[in-house]
Each structure stands twice: as C-alpha cells, then as structure tokens.
C-alpha cells in the first residue's frame, strides 16, 4: 500500500524460467575498475553468472547489449555470490561463487576495446574448494582481525561452519542444537558470527572460540560429531526473539553506533553488539528482504524492507519514511552507486526480474478499470427508463407489501366441514375430561389455475381447539390441478373456545418468484364442543333476545340437538359443554322472545351467537327479509368487569413470576460462576456448601417455572373467557343499538381483548 511507485531507472529480465533467491545478488566494483562504480553480479540456480554495468541513456531504458558485461554458465546451481578480497597477496576484489558442493573464487577483468561495445570481460578461476557437505550460505570478513584480506565462512545444510583462509581450508565446526540453517553474518567489531538458530534465538559465536574448539573433522565417529563437538562450542550471547529470521545485517556507519539488524518473519529487530534489543518493530506484512543503509539524520539508521505485497518500505529506525511500490516481489535488495548515481536501489525477484530504481513522487499509476464503456444514448435511455417506470408503477399497484384484495385469484382454497361428527373420534391428547371427545372432519381443497411453486397449507383454529395436522407441504402445482387434504378438528384444552371458526392459508410462489397467499375461513359445528342435555330452570345469568317474528320451534332450528321423539324440547333446550358447564335455551310460547341462561357468563356467548345465526339463516330461507333481533335488557357489565379483573390479576402474577424467575436465574448464574472459579483453581478451596446452594436455587427456579407455567395456563383460560364475554357484550350492544355491520367492526376494533394477549399490551 503506497502512494508512490519506485521510478524505474533500468530493468531487465534474466533468462527464462530461472530461479533466484536471497544470495544471488551482489553489488560491487568487481572488476576493480577503480572508478567507484558498482557492477551488479547475479547468479542463478540454473548456474548462470551475469555481470551488469547499467548505463541507460535516459531513465527507464531497457537493457543495452553493452550493459551485460559477462554471462557464463557454471554448470552448477549458484547459491550465493559475494565480492571481497579473497586472494592472498592482493587487495583487489574477487568474486566468490558458492555452489552446492564447491566454492570458486574468480578474478573478473576487462580489456578495453576501441569502442564501447568492443570491451571484453572474462573471469579467471583463481582457486576452488570442493566441499564435503552441501553448502547453504556463506559470509566473509576479516576474521580474527586480519588486515587487507577477507576470509570465507560457509554454513552447510547440516549445520557445519567451514572456514577457509583463502586458498586453504582452515577448520570446520558444528553449530550446537542445529536443525535448519538460518542466516549467517560476521560482525567485525566483536569478531563473531551471528546466526538465528532453529530454537528461534539469535546466537553469536566468537571466532576465537570457534578456532580453539575441537575440530569437527578430527572426530572419527559421525555420531560423536554432532553430540559432543556441539557442546564444546560456547556461545557468546543468545537473544530469544521467538521467530525465525530471514536475514541478518551488521552495520557500523561513522555517525551511528554499530548495530545488528535482524529481519524476522513478523518483526524487525535492531540489536546492540551485546545482544540487547535496541528497538524492534512489528511488521504488519510478510517481509521478503531488507538492507540497512546510512541515514542523513545523526544517530539513526535507515532500512529498506521489501515485502510480499510488492512494496519497499524505508524506515528511519522505526518510523516509516517512505513507501514505494515495485513491480515484483523482491527476494534481494541492494543499494549501489551506478554511473555517478548514488544510492540506486537494486532489486531482484525470484523469477529474474532485475531492476534498478530510485525513489520519486511518481504516483503509482493505478488505473481503476472502466466500469462500462458503453456510449450513453440519452434519448434511448430516457425512453427505456420511462418504459421501466411504467412497469414498476403497474407492478407496485398490484404487488405491494400489503396485498390488495384481488378479484380473481389464481389459486383458490376451499374448506368443507362435514355436517356430521366423525363416527370414530380422531381426537388425540385431549385434556378434556369428558368420556368422549368428538371430532369433525374438514376437507380442504386447493385449486390452482396457474403454476404454483412450493404450496404450503397451514390450518389454524383458535386454541383450545386443535387440528390433527396443521401443516401440509405439496409438490409444485400444475395449472388447473387441485389437491385435497382431510383433517379433523377437536377440542384439546379443557375450556370452551371463544370462537368456532378456523382458517386455512396457502402460501405459494409464482414461477417468477413472487410470494402469494390465499386463504379461507370455515365454521365448525356447535356439536363439536357440546351435546344436548337436560335443561335446568335455574341459572345465574339470563339473557333475553327479542325478535320481530313468532318463535320458531327448536325442532326446526336445532335439529342436531333435539330428539324429535320428545315434545317438550320444542321450546326448551339444554346444552352441556364438554368442559362440564350447562346452558339452557328457552323459547317463549307467547311472546317473540328467546331466553338463554347459564351459570357462567361466558358460556352464554356461543349459544347466543349460534341462536342468532340459525334464526337469521332460517328466515333467509323463507325469504323473510325484515327479520331482526333486538336486546332490551341491561348489559351484564358487573360480571364482565369481574372477568376483566380476574384476567388482570393473572397478568400481574405473570409479571411477578417473570421477575422472580430472572432474579433466581441471576442468583443461579452467580453461584455457577463462583463454583467455576473454585474448580478452576489449582488448589481447590472447599465448596462451603455452594453445591447445596446451587441445587436449592435450581429447585427454586424449576418450581418458579412450574408456577409460571400454571399461571400461564390460567391466563389462557381467563383470556378465552374474557374473549367470549367481550364478544357477547359487543353483540348485545350492537343488538341493543341496532348497529350496522361497519359500526360493529369499529366497535370490535376498539376492544383490545379480541386481539392477542401478549406482553406488549
């Protein structure tokens, strides 16, 4: 992530399908030209050694043929190239090339031609060492403080440091506790080697200690080599950094104190010579390479860190000074003086992209891709837009969030209640204490005129009624097909329902994916919840309904309750509810009145409703249109208020239970928490009867929950009663005031108890 990108000064791509890594890049005046100009030496795993001297005509140029001073194939993978004073007797720079099993030191020399492209360069092998072990990396320096020459130390894959004093092999030492090689460097100030071991610690070994330790090669038995020679090698200092390192660099510039820089996988450390952390920085990216270089500010050191996000960051100590994007992931980065240009950043990627660049405020040319390059024809678009708006307008008319009544439905659902009760009752799990709980069959038919996908039928009756099955899922319906299901309704709860109606809803989606519903209601027979019984003369509550027509014999309007053989039932009829209470219906012989009486106010409702419904039906059949019921008595408000009070009291109870329950639950959790801390302790303290307390609280919670549940059942019953009574009161008011259907609807809407009984109210 950076605003700027590195300005390309010179770049090239090396070879094809060649691989490069950290050690493959080296920058130095390898041909001893004396001009102070650095050359770029690159070796590849494919064995190619190349030396470049870039001098672009203008920045950003590609490679010119004469930029490549030399290219040879060395027939063995090149692991690392270094330039130093490797040949005895001369202070000239020579090139050391590390292969897997060989170390070669070459002299690079050039002969000037007449013109620039006539220059010739060649390498000459000065000496080579065959290695007994597979090499990994190497470092060089004036080990032991020798003047004017560099010695080489090679680390093998199995952890042996092999030291070469130029043309001769000096000695080899095994590193203790070795598993995988880490980066290796030489600190000339303390004359020690620094590496990061597999134990994830920075380790420093004095050269002198190495030199005087037992020679690893003198040992005869390979087993002993690893075990004992390791122990002898005393470490100078150790710093545990807790991660593997990618690279180590030692810098000592004039103005800054000498420091050891370690680039870890997740952090970047700067250590003092004695192995203490001077500073560290947590990196929020995966670094790939780094190089410290001198800083303009006194006492600080700048560091270039490349990362896998293709960015080079420049830090001054821990402060990010600059970030720049590079076109590839650098595996190695160097700073060079090229063609009188100081401080060129040389980066190498693992597929051979070699670039020399410098920092600049060139913004990274990130071009967001064009979204849609289509030419905009405004007229056409306007026309299309209008067309679409029209469609949307049409659509919003018909498909709103709240469905409007549709005149013709694509899917029709009908419910047919069978006139007779089931011969064999289908009731299951009924809580009613009567001997036999009847049930009635409802046949529901879905007819579809269009394709309906995933139709889902839900049948719903008000509790305490219940159905044998309330959910049906069908396969997709073809146009003009139908489905039929049969189910039974019965009384489940032990109280009388307030309504004898049910509804069924079909939800489906059209092939275009619009969800739709269709529904219908059905009315259940009174016989489902009560049966004829002996009438009783006395009762607490009485209602009288006046009509404007002579009384009708119950034989005609209640044929399902009256036994025709008994004459006295023509004007007296007894109903016994399944739940036990009784209601009596009386028809006056002389006046045009009916009387309903019962011990419970709420029981009057269903019978009254049934009576008025059946009377209306009867007169409709006879084409008598002016039939009307009226009510002139007083509305039983007192009794109604009692029901309201009862219900309210239960609601208060419910609230109280809930409070208590949450209180106990909090207590329970508090005890649990205490127990948890006790059990987690390494030296468990005695429980101090916490377990008893826990169990006690648990019992209390359960008892409270039981009580709350019972209360809930009571609320439900009270609510049903209240609902019945409210219905009754509304009906009586409307009969009394002769209200129209619309007015009744408004009146019903004002009464809350007809809605749900929820906490929200």
24's tokens: 């493959």
Q: Closer CB to other proteins, residue 178 or residue 261?
A: 178
The count of other CB atoms within 10 Å of the CB of residue 17 is 7
Residue selected from 125, 146, 199, 745 as contacting other proteins according to rule CB under 8 A: 199
Q: Closer CB to other proteins, residue 178 or residue 631?
A: 178
CA dist 680 and 60 (Å) reads 67
Q: Closer CB to other proteins, residue 157 or residue 533?
A: 157
Residue selected from 340, 379, 400, 568 as contacting other proteins according to rule CB under 8 A: 400
Binding-residue pattern over the window 366 to 385 for other proteins, x denoting contact by CB under 8 A = x-x--xx-------------
Residue selected from 82, 150, 273, 350 as contacting other proteins according to rule CB under 8 A: 350
Checking 103-109 for CB contacts under 8 A at 24+ apart, the result is 103/128, 103/129, 103/131, 103/135, 103/138, 103/152, 103/154, 103/164, 104/74, 104/128, 108/30, 108/31, 108/32, 108/51, 108/70, 109/31, 109/32
412 touches other proteins by CB under 8 A:
no
| Of the candidates 513, 451, 514, the residue with the CA atom closest to the CA atom of residue 478 | 451
Residue 567: DSSP 8-state: G
Residue 745 has, within 13 A of its CA and on its CB side, a CA count of 3
Residue 358 and residue 7 in contact, taking contact as beta carbons nearer than 8 Å: yes
Residue selected from 469, 652, 676, 702 as contacting other proteins according to rule CB under 8 A: 676
Stretch that binds other proteins, among 176-184, 188-196, 496-504, 570-578 (CB under 8 A): 176-184
238 touches other proteins by CB under 8 A:
no
Residue selected from 244, 445, 453, 494 as contacting other proteins according to rule CB under 8 A: 244
Stretch that binds other proteins, among 109-117, 192-200, 538-546, 610-618 (CB under 8 A): 192-200
Helices (H) and strands (E) in the chain, counts: 8, 43
The set of residues, in sequence order, having a beta carbon less than 8 Å from that of 110 and lying 6+ positions away, is 31, 33, 69, 119, 120, 121, 122
CA dist 506 and 477 (Å) reads 12
Stretch that binds other proteins, among 49-57, 155-163, 294-302, 423-431 (CB under 8 A): 155-163
Q: Closer CB to other proteins, residue 20 or residue 140?
A: 20
Nearest-approach distance from CB 498 to other proteins, in angstroms: 23
Q: Closer CB to other proteins, residue 673 or residue 738?
A: 673
Residue 411 and residue 516 in contact, taking contact as beta carbons nearer than 8 Å: yes
Which residues, 614 to 673, sit near other proteins by CB under 8 A? 662, 665, 669, 672-673
Q: Closer CB to other proteins, residue 372 or residue 379?
A: 372
Which residues, 84 to 113, sit near other proteins by CB under 8 A? 100
514 touches other proteins by CB under 8 A:
no
Residue selected from 21, 150, 602, 610 as contacting other proteins according to rule CB under 8 A: 21
248 touches other proteins by CB under 8 A:
no
Q: Closer CB to other proteins, residue 19 or residue 61?
A: 19
392 touches other proteins by CB under 8 A:
yes
159 touches other proteins by CB under 8 A:
yes
277 touches other proteins by CB under 8 A:
yes
Q: What is the DSSP string of 230-294?
A: HHHS--SEEEE-SS-EEEEEEE--SSSPPEEEEEESSEEEEE-TTS-EEEEEE-SS-EEEEEEEE
Q: Closer CB to other proteins, residue 537 or residue 680?
A: 680
Q: Closer CB to other proteins, residue 136 or residue 440?
A: 136
Q: Closer CB to other proteins, residue 331 or residue 411?
A: 331
1 touches other proteins by CB under 8 A:
yes
CA dist 338 and 354 (Å) reads 14
318 touches other proteins by CB under 8 A:
yes
CA dist 269 and 246 (Å) reads 12
246 touches other proteins by CB under 8 A:
yes
Nearest-approach distance from CB 177 to other proteins, in angstroms: 6
759 touches other proteins by CB under 8 A:
no
Stretch that binds other proteins, among 76-84, 164-172, 206-214, 595-603 (CB under 8 A): 76-84
Residue 325 and residue 343 in contact, taking contact as beta carbons nearer than 8 Å: no
Q: Closer CB to other proteins, residue 308 or residue 656?
A: 308
Residue selected from 53, 155, 187, 288 as contacting other proteins according to rule CB under 8 A: 288
Q: What is the DSSP string of 8-31?
A: EEEEEE-SSS----GGGEEEE-TT
Stretch that binds other proteins, among 13-21, 108-116, 453-461, 597-605 (CB under 8 A): 13-21
Residue selected from 46, 123, 348, 506 as contacting other proteins according to rule CB under 8 A: 46
Which residues, 679 to 708, sit near other proteins by CB under 8 A? 680
The count of other CB atoms within 10 Å of the CB of residue 296 is 8
Q: Closer CB to other proteins, residue 371 or residue 637?
A: 371
331 touches other proteins by CB under 8 A:
yes
Stretch that binds other proteins, among 172-180, 435-443, 530-538, 615-623 (CB under 8 A): 172-180
Residue selected from 109, 214, 267, 494 as contacting other proteins according to rule CB under 8 A: 267
Distance of CA 621 to the CA centre of its chain: 66
CA dist 162 and 205 (Å) reads 14
Nearest-approach distance from CB 15 to other proteins, in angstroms: 11
Which residues, 536 to 595, sit near other proteins by CB under 8 A? none
Task: Burial-class residue 97 by CB neighbours within 10 Å (0-12, 13-18, 19+).
Answer: buried
The set of residues, in sequence order, having a beta carbon less than 8 Å from that of 2 and lying 6+ positions away, is 311, 323, 324, 325, 364
736's tokens: 């009394």
Residue selected from 34, 57, 58, 75 as contacting other proteins according to rule CB under 8 A: 75
Task: Burial-class residue 369 by CB neighbours within 10 Å (0-12, 13-18, 19+).
Answer: exposed
CA dist 634 and 214 (Å) reads 120
134 touches other proteins by CB under 8 A:
yes
158 touches other proteins by CB under 8 A:
yes
Nearest-approach distance from CB 326 to other proteins, in angstroms: 13
515 touches other proteins by CB under 8 A:
no
Residue selected from 25, 301, 323, 586 as contacting other proteins according to rule CB under 8 A: 323
CA dist 726 and 542 (Å) reads 16
Give the three-state DSSP class for 753.
helix
Q: Closer CB to other proteins, residue 555 or residue 675?
A: 675
Residue 303 and residue 268 in contact, taking contact as beta carbons nearer than 8 Å: yes
Task: Burial-class residue 484 by CB neighbours within 10 Å (0-12, 13-18, 19+).
Answer: exposed
365 touches other proteins by CB under 8 A:
no
Nearest-approach distance from CB 336 to other proteins, in angstroms: 23
Q: Closer CB to other proteins, residue 120 or residue 134?
A: 134
Cα first-last separation, the chain: 57
Total of residues contacting other proteins (CB under 8 A):
78
How large is the C-alpha radius of gyration of the chain?
49
Nearest-approach distance from CB 500 to other proteins, in angstroms: 29
């Amino acid at each position: 992530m950076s605003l700027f990108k590195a300005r390309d000064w010179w770049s090239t791509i090396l070879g094809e399908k060649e691989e490069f890594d950290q050690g493959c890049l080296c920058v130095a005046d390898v041909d001893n030209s004396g001009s102070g100009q650095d050359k770029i030496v690159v070796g590849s795993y494919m064995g190619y050694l190349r030396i470049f001297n870039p001098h672009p005509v203008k920045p950003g140029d590609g490679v010119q043929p004469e930029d490549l001073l030399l290219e040879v194939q060395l027939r063995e993978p090149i692991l690392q190239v270094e330039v130093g004073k490797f040949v005895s007797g001369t202070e000239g720079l020579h090139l050391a090339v590390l292969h897997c099993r060989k170390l070669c030191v070459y002299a690079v020399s050039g002969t000037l031609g007449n013109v620039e492209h006539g220059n010739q360069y060649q390498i000459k092998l000065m000496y080579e060492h065959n290695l007994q072990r597979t090499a990994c990396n190497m470092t060089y320096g004036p080990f032991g403080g020798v003047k004017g020459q560099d010695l080489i130390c090679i680390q093998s894959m199995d952890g042996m440091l092999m030291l070469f004093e130029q043309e001769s092999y000096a000695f080899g030492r095994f590193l203790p506790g070795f598993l995988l090689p880490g980066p290796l460097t030489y600190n000339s100030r303390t004359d020690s080697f620094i590496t990061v071991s597999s134990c994830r610690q920075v380790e420093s070994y004095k050269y002198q200690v190495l030199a005087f330790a037992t020679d690893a090669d003198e040992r005869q038995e390979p087993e002993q080599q690893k075990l004992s020679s390791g122990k002898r090698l005393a470490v100078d200092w150790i710093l545990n950094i807790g991660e593997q390192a990618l690279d180590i660099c030692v810098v000592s510039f004039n103005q800054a104190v000498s420091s050891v820089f370690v680039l870890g996988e997740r952090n970047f450390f700067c250590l003092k010579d004695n192995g203490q952390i001077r500073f560290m920085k947590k990196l929020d990216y995966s670094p790939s390479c780094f190089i410290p270089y001198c800083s303009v500010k006194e006492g600080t050191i700048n560091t270039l860190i490349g990362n896998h996000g293709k960015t080079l960051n420049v830090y001054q100590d821990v402060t990010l000074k600059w970030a720049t994007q590079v076109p590839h992931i650098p595996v190695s980065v160097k700073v060079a003086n090229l063609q009188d240009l100081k401080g060129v950043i040389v980066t190498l990627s693992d597929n051979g992209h070699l670039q020399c660049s410098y920092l600049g405020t060139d913004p990274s040319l990130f071009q967001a891709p064009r979204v849609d390059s289509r030419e905009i024809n405004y007229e056409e678009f306007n026309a299309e837009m209008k067309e679409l708006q029209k469609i949307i307008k049409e659509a919003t008319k018909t498909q709103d969030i709240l469905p409007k009544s549709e005149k013709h439905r694509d899917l029709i659902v009908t419910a047919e209640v069978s006139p007779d009760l089931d011969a064999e009752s289908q009731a299951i799990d009924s809580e009613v204490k009567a001997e036999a709980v009847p049930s009635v069959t409802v046949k529901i038919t879905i007819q579809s005129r269009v394709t309906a996908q995933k139709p889902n039928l839900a049948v719903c009756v008000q509790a305490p009624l219940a159905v044998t099955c309330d959910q049906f899922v069908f396969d997709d319906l073809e146009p003009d097909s139908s489905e039929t299901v049969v189910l039974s309704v019965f009384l489940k709860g032990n109280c009388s329902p307030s309504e004898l109606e049910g509804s069924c809803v079909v939800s489906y989606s059209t092939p275009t994916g619009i969800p739709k519903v269709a529904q219908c209601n059905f009315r259940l027979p009174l016989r489902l919840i009560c049966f004829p019984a002996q009438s009783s003369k006395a009762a607490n509550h009485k209602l009288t309904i006046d009509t404007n027509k002579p009384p009708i014999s119950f034989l005609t309007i209640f044929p399902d309750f009256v036994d025709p053989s008994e004459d006295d039932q023509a004007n007296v009829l007894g109903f016994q509810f399944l739940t036990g209470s009784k209601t009596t219906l009386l028809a006056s012989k002389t006046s045009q009145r009916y009387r309903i009486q019962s011990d419970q106010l709420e029981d009057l409702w269903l019978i009254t409703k049934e009576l008025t419904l059946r009377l209306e039906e009867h007169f409709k059949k006879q084409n008598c249109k002016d039939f009307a019921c009226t009510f002139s008595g007083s509305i039983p408000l007192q009794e109604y208020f009692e029901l309201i009070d009862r219900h309210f009291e239960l609601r208060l109870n419910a609230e109280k239970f809930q409070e208590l329950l949450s209180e106990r639950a909090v207590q329970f959790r508090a005890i649990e928490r205490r127990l948890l801390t006790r059990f987690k302790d390494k030296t468990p303290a005695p429980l101090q009867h916490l377990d008893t307390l826990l169990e006690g609280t648990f019992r209390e919670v359960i008892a409270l929950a039981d009580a709350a549940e019972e209360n809930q059942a009571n609320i439900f019953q009270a609510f049903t009663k209240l609902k019945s009574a409210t219905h009754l009161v509304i009906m009586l008011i409307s009969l009394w005031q002769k209200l129209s259907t619309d007015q009744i609807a408004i009146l019903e809407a004002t009464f809350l108890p007809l809605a749900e009984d929820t906490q929200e109210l």
